[in-house]
Structure 1
Amino acid sequence: MNAEPTTPAMPAVVDRATWLAEVEALRVREKAHTRAGDAIAAARRRLPMVEVDAATPLTGPDGPTTLLAAFEGRGQLIAYFHMWHDGRSTAEQCEGCTYFNSQVRELSYFHARDVTYATLCQGPYEDSAAYRDFMGWEVPWYSARESVDVLRAGRTAPFLLVCYLRREQRVFETYWTTGRGVEIMAPSYGLLDITAYGRQEAWEDSPPGWPVDDRAMRTDGRPSAQWSRLRAGQCTGC
C-alpha cells in the first residue's frame, strides 16, 4: 500500500500585529539587499570590455550569418547560450535551458532600450530551431555550433548569459554570467522565493518539515514546460 502523503509543516500562527512586526523587520534587510544590488549594478556599468570578432559565424533562419547581424541593428545584444544534446529526443533535451528560455517572452521592453535578445544554441540550426518552434518561443534563434568554443572562451560552467555592445561594425563583450547568475532570466524563481515554502529545493535553508521537491525543471522524464505543448497537440511523437 502507498503511504499517505505527509502534510508539510507550516509557519507559526500569530496575531496580525506580531506578524506585521516580523515582516517589517525583514523589510529592513530586503531594502539593504536591494540597495546592495543597485551598487553591484552600478559597478557592472563601469566594467571595461573586450573586443570580439564581429564576423564570428552563426547560422540563422536565412542561413549563414554573423554575430554582428544578430544585433538586428541595435546597439546591444543579450545572448543566452542554449545547451544541445546531439542525437537525443525532445524529452532528453536540457531541462535547465528549457526552463530559462521559456520565461523570456516579451521583447519590446528590450527593444525600447536599443537591446536585442537572442538565443545562441550549441546544436545545429534545423534541429534546434524545430525545438524552439515546438516550445512556441519567438525569440531570435541562431546556431553557434561552429563558433561556440570561441564565444564561450573557455567558460565551461553550466548555462551562460553574455552581454555585447556594438559600435558601428565592431562588437565588444561587456559582461557575462553563468550558473546561478542566469536566474535573472527566471521571474518564477523570484516569485517562489517570496512564498512560505520557497523553491522547495534541497539546498535551501528551510525549517524542519518544509516540503522539498527538486522536480520543478523536469516532470515525468521531460522538461516540465513540454507537457502543456504536448497536451495541446503541438507535437506528435515527441
Structure 2
Amino acid sequence: MPELLTTSHALPQVVDRQTWQAKIDELLVKEKAHTRAGDALAAQRRRLPMVEVDPATKLIGAGGPVSLIDIFDGRSQLIAYFQMWHTGRPAAEQCEGCTFSTSHITELSYLHSRDVSYATFCEGPYEESSRYRDFMGWTVPWYSVPQDAVDRLVAGRSFGILVSYLRYDDQVFEAYWTTSRGNEVMAPSYGLLDLTVYGRQEVWEDSPEGWPQGWPARGGQFQLDGRPIAQWPRLKAGHDDDLGTSSDGPHQPHCH
C-alpha cells in the first residue's frame, strides 16, 4: 500500500492571498484555453463519419439473447463500455481498471434526457459477470458479449473500449470509440484529484521534488492490498463476492 501523507512530504510555498490569487488568475488563462481546445475537439468528433454495425447482433442480458438495436431502449444513441473479464477467476482478480471506470457510472438520467442510453458490454459469460455487477452494487444495464458478437462489435480491438453508437430507424452505426486514457471521462475521481496539491500521486506525473508518488501505473493505481480498490467498501458492507468460480485456473494478466 502506498505510504500515507506525512509532515515529511514537501509542501507548496506559502504566500499572501493577493500573490496566491494572482497565480490562480494566471493559470486560469491556460485553463480556459484548455477548455476551448476540448470544445474544438468535441466539435470535430461530432463531424466524424461513421460505420454501419449489424443491428441484429445478439448479446446476452438478464432475459437471454437481445439484439443490439433493442439495447438502445427506444433512444437514438447508445454509449457502451466494453468491460474486460477473466473467466473463471474470483472477484479479487477481475479487471482493476474496468472496475475503477464502471464504479463511477451511477446516474443515467442526464444521459437519458439527451436521448442517450448507456450499457456495459462485458467480455465474460452473463451468469458469472452479472454476479460481479451485483457484488459491486452497480445498476447500469449489463450484457454479456458472445464470441460472434465480439467479432462484429470489437472488430480486432481489445475490451476496455468506450463506444458511441447512433440508431437511425432500423440501422445502427458506430460513430466514435476511445480507450486507455480516453476512458478517463468515465471517472470524475481523476478530475478531482487533478485539482489537489498532490494530484493523482502516480509515478508518471510531473510533480515537484518531494511530492508523494506511491501509486504505480499500468493497473497498480487501481488496486489496494491485492484487489481492485472499489471492492473493499463492498466487502466491508457485507456484499458477497462469490462468482461461482475458483482460483485454480490459469492466471490472466492484469488489465490496464
Q: TM-score, normalised by structure 1?
A: 0.95
The 3-state SS of whatever aligns with 2:173 is: strand
Cα distance in 2 for residues equivalent to 1:175 and 1:4: 40
**Partner in structure 2 of residue 233 of structure 1:** 238
Give the deviation of 1:51 after TM superposition: 0.4
CA apart distance, 1:183: 0.2
1:52 aligns with 2:57: no
Question: Structure 1: where are the runs of 5+ without partners?
Answer: none
Q: What is the Cα deviation at residue 213 of structure 1?
A: 2.4
Instruction: Count the aligned residue pairs.
Output: 235
- State how far apart, in whole Å, the 1-side matches of 2:47 and 2:197 are: 37
Q: Deviations over 1:51-87 (max 9, x none)?
A: 0000111000100111111111111000000000011
Give, in whole Å, the separation in 2 of the partners of 1:213 and 1:137: 29
Q: Report SS of the residue matched to 1:120.
A: strand
8 Å CA contact 2:5, 2:212 repeated in 1:
no
- Distance in 2, Cα, partners of 1:101 & 1:90: 15
In the superposition, the TM-score normalised over structure 2's length comes to 0.88
The alignment status of 1:148 with 2:150, answered yes or no, reads yes
- Which stretches in structure 2 are left out of the alignment for 5+ residues? 244-256
Could you list the structure 1 runs, at least 4 aligned residues long, displaced by more than 3 angstroms after superposition: 3-6
Cα distance, 1:4 vs structure 2: 11
Question: What's 1:89 paired with?
Answer: 90
In the alignment, structure 1 residue 206 sits paired with structure 2 residue 207 = yes
Superposition deviation, residue 199 in structure 1: 0.4
C-alpha spacing 1:41/1:5, structure 2 compared with 1 (3 Å) = closer
Q: What are the within-5 Å matches in structure 2 for residues 47-196 of structure 1?
A: 47-146=48-147, 147-156=149-158, 159-196=160-197
Asked if the contact 1:82/1:122 (under 8 Å) is kept, the reply is yes
2: CA distance, partners of 1:64 / 1:161:
22
Partner Cα distance (1:5, 1:70) in 2: 45
2: CA distance between counterparts of 1:82 and 1:74? 22
**Structure 1 residues 99 and 4, CA gap change in structure 2 (3 angstroms):** closer
Please give the alpha-carbon distance, in whole angstroms, between the structure 1 residues aligned to 2:123 and 2:77.
21
- Tell me, yes or no, if the aligned pair for 1:121 and 1:145 is still in contact at 8 Å: no
Aligned-partner SS, 1:78: strand
